[in-house]
């Protein structure tokens, strides 16, 4: 049960990092910039 | 004392600079873009190895997005594997000392800490099995510095208008070409100089008073060499570099300091070679060295004026303590051979300053990425002053890049200051402080600074072996590492895609002493403006009320 915290934090850390990459990529794309 | 210090300092600096220049040129050659790189026999071995992994470097140059996602994916795999092994080390083999499973928060903190090249330890080194020490932490000691190094190389390639490269190829190449050979040579040297290397369990000895004492040992030399070379810093034993098995004599102490500085010092030279401007590489190395000298001389002054030698490592004397302590915070290694908490408050101020600036060489890859970030900021500020569009290596720094630069610059102070503020407010945070008052603030500030800067050294004196500290510093460790890496890759990707602006006589040159001065001023001003208030409330107030 305790390990659920590890899984949640892991998902938060890596999920937000992947999300950030996607977000910046989208902003670049919307600005008509190149990747 | 000063004479002894100056002799040791200059010998160390000259030898390390000489070796770093050679290594930097080598890195610049080996990590040149695949299209222009010479293919030697090791290259053929690498290519075969990569093909087995499904990677053909010549056909698979990655965009910054692909590079960043590959980096995160590999980190995720190592993280999950390491975490599981630490949680179940008690029932796994290679556990002659009967180490228990780590609890979830210690396992989480330890895995993130070692994967982010920080090696902040909230447990005693003796609490781990040999399997955990060697195959979990030992592996991460190689993998973690490679992550920031690969990003650094990709960013440099982007600035040089070359393809960013392939993450997997750079990852394998750095380990095979740099970390393994240097580790092997210096590992053998450490064994010859008395550092233990054995898989035998702890031995029980009878002391002169007749008492029984358990003496832990293990594969220390192999661990120790990559701990220093990769700017990792986590100790095999709880006492880290103050333990006589990790750091048995002056020669080993000297080698450890040399290894800590080697790769961070070599990267400006590699940068100069990769962008085709050795002059600019030397300029950055020069500025970093000036900062390093200022910090180290300041620390020497504060410790030599302290008549008690409290907290200092008596085996290596005040000089050995000053140099090691300054280098471990400057190169973001985090190994310690003395009790940082007990040193003079001004020494603590300098240790914090080294970590907060994170460009006084800085850690493997991460330090030089910060140098580039500050260089961008310096160019941007100069552009504002003279009314011209800021350009760096012929690439315009425009709104998008400046926004990303600002975020990259703000993330570490945000994590450090907010983490410290919360911990000074909540009960588990305040309850961990062993020395209330200004020094208590320094203890908490040091913990978050060390975590965010991926240094890992402890001020100690802070009761951090609990769920609150494990989880709160995990945020600082993780985001302090990956957000800057990802954002710097995004900046490099964006700059690479822009056409180069022709340079004329009115262009702002970034390889002159004038730019070096602006760059130095930017580092000092931005660092001072961000952290001065909290430093005044912590170590400076601590000093003034002594």
**DSSP H or E segment with residue B303:** helix B278-304
Is residue B328, in this structure, part of any structural domain at all? Answer: no
Q: What is the pLDDT of residues B69-107, one digit of tens each?
A: 999 999 999 999 999 999 999 999 888 888 899 999 999
B464: in domain: yes
**What band does A35 get if pLDDT is binned at 50, 70 and 90?**
very low
Give me the DSSP letters along B130-171: HHIIIIIIHHHHHHHHHHHHHHHHHHHHHHTTS----HHHHH
Region B40-69 average pLDDT = 87
pLDDT digits 0-9 by tens, B458-498: 887 888 889 999 999 999 999 999 999 999 999 999 999 88
Q: What confidence score (pLDDT) does residue B394 get?
A: 86
Residues of A in contact with B65 (CB under 8 A): 21, 25, 35
Number of domains in chain B: 1
B76 and A21 in contact by Cβ < 8 A? no
Residues of A within 8 A of B110 (CB-CB) are none
* pLDDT computed for residue B125 by the predictor: 66
pLDDT, one tens digit per residue, over B430-453 is 999 988 889 999 999 999 999 999
User: Both tokens of residue B417?
Assistant: 């200051």
H/E segment holding residue B215: strand B212-215
Confirm whether B394 is domain-assigned.
yes
In a domain, B162, yes or no: no
Residue B176 pLDDT level (bands cut at 50, 70, 90):
very high
Q: What are the pLDDT digits (tens) for B411-423?
A: 999 999 999 999 9
What digits encode the pLDDT tens for the residues B232-289? Answer: 998 888 888 889 999 999 999 999 999 999 999 999 999 999 999 999 999 999 999 9
**What ipTM, to 2 d.p.?**
0.92
Give residue B1's pLDDT. 81
Scored b (16 or more CB within 10 A) or e, B115-128 reads bbbbbbbbbebbbb
Interface list for B 489-528 with A (CB within 8 A): 490, 493-494, 497
| Residue pair B354/B295 in contact by the 8 Å Cβ criterion | yes
B486 → chain A, closest CA residue: A21
What's the gap in Å between the CA of B486 and the closest CA on chain A? 7
The residue range of the domain holding B466 is 366-544
- Nearest-by-CA chain B residue for A4: B104
Q: Shortest Cα distance from A17 to chain B (angstroms)? A: 7
- Choose from B76, B154, B470 for mutation: most chain A CBs within 10 A: B76
Of A30-34, B110-114, B146-150, the least confident: A30-34
User: Is the pLDDT confidence value at B297 over 80?
Assistant: yes
CB contact under 8 A, A21 and B65: yes
Asked whether residue B459 is assigned to any structural domain, the reply reads yes
Asked, for residue B296, whether it belongs to a domain, the answer is: no
Q: pLDDT per residue over B503-520, tens digit each?
A: 777 778 888 999 999 999
Show residues of chain A in contact with B404, CB under 8 Å: 24
């Amino acid at each position: 049960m305790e390990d659920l915290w590890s899984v949640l934090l892991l998902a938060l850390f890596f999920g937000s990092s992947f999300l950030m990459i996607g977000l910046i990529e989208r902003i670049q794309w919307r600005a008509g910039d190149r990747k | 004392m000063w004479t002894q210090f100056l002799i040791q300092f200059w010998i160390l600096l000259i030898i390390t600079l000489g070796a770093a220049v050679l290594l930097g040129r080598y890195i610049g050659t080996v990590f040149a873009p695949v299209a222009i790189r010479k293919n030697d026999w090791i290259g053929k071995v690498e290519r075969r190895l990569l093909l087995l992994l499904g990677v053909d470097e010549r056909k698979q140059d990655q965009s910054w997005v692909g590079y960043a996602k590959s980096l995160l994916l590999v980190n995720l795999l190592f993280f999950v594997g390491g975490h599981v092994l630490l949680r179940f080390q008690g029932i796994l083999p290679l556990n002659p000392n009967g180490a228990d499973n780590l609890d979830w928060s210690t396992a989480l903190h330890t895995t993130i800490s070692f994967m982010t090249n920080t090696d902040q330890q909230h447990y005693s080194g003796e609490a781990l099995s040999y399997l955990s020490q060697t195959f979990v932490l030992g592996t991460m000691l190689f993998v973690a510095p490679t992550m920031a190094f690969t990003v650094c190389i990709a960013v440099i390639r982007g600035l040089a208008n070359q393809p960013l490269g392939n993450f997997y190829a750079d990852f394998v190449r750095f380990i095979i070409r740099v970390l393994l050979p240097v580790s092997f040579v210096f590992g053998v040297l450490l064994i010859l100089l008395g550092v233990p290397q054995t898989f035998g369990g702890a031995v029980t000895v009878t002391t002169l008073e007749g008492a029984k004492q358990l003496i832990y040992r293990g594969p220390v030399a192999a661990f120790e060499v990559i701990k220093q070379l990769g700017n990792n810093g986590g100790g095999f034993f709880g006492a880290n570099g103050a333990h006589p098995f990790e750091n048995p004599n002056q020669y080993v102490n000297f080698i450890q300091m040399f290894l800590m500085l080697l790769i961070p010092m070599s990267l400006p030279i590699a940068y100069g070679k990769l962008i085709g401007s050795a002059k600019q590489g030397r300029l950055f190395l020069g500025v970093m060295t000036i900062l390093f000298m200022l910090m180290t001389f300041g620390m020497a002054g504060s410790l030599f004026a302290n008549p008690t030698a409290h907290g200092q490592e008596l085996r290596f004397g005040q000089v050995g303590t000053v140099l090691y302590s300054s280098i471990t915070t400057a190169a973001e290694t985090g190994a310690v051979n003395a009790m940082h908490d007990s040193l003079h408050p001004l020494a603590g101020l300098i240790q914090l300053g080294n970590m907060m600036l994170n460009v006084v060489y800085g850690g493997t890859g991460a330090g030089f990425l910060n140098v580039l970030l500050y260089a961008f900021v310096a160019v941007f500020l100069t552009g504002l002053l003279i009314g011209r569009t800021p350009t760096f290596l012929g690439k315009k720094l425009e709104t998008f890049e400046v926004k990303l630069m600002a975020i990259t610059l703000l993330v570490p102070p945000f994590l450090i200051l907010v983490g410290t503020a919360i911990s000074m407010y909540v009960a588990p945070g305040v309850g961990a402080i062993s020395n209330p008052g200004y020094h208590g603030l320094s203890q908490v500030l040091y913990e978050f600074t060390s975590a965010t800067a991926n240094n890992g050294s402890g001020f100690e004196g802070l009761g951090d072996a609990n769920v609150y500290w494990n989880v709160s510093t995990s945020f600082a460790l993780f985001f302090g590492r990956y957000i800057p890496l990802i954002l710097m890759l995004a900046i490099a990707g964006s700059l690479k895609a822009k056409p180069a602006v022709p340079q004329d006589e009115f262009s702002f040159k970034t390889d002159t002493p004038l730019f070096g001065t602006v760059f130095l001023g930017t580092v000092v001003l931005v660092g001072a403006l961000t952290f001065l208030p909290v430093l005044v409330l912590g170590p400076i107030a601590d000093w003034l009320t002594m």
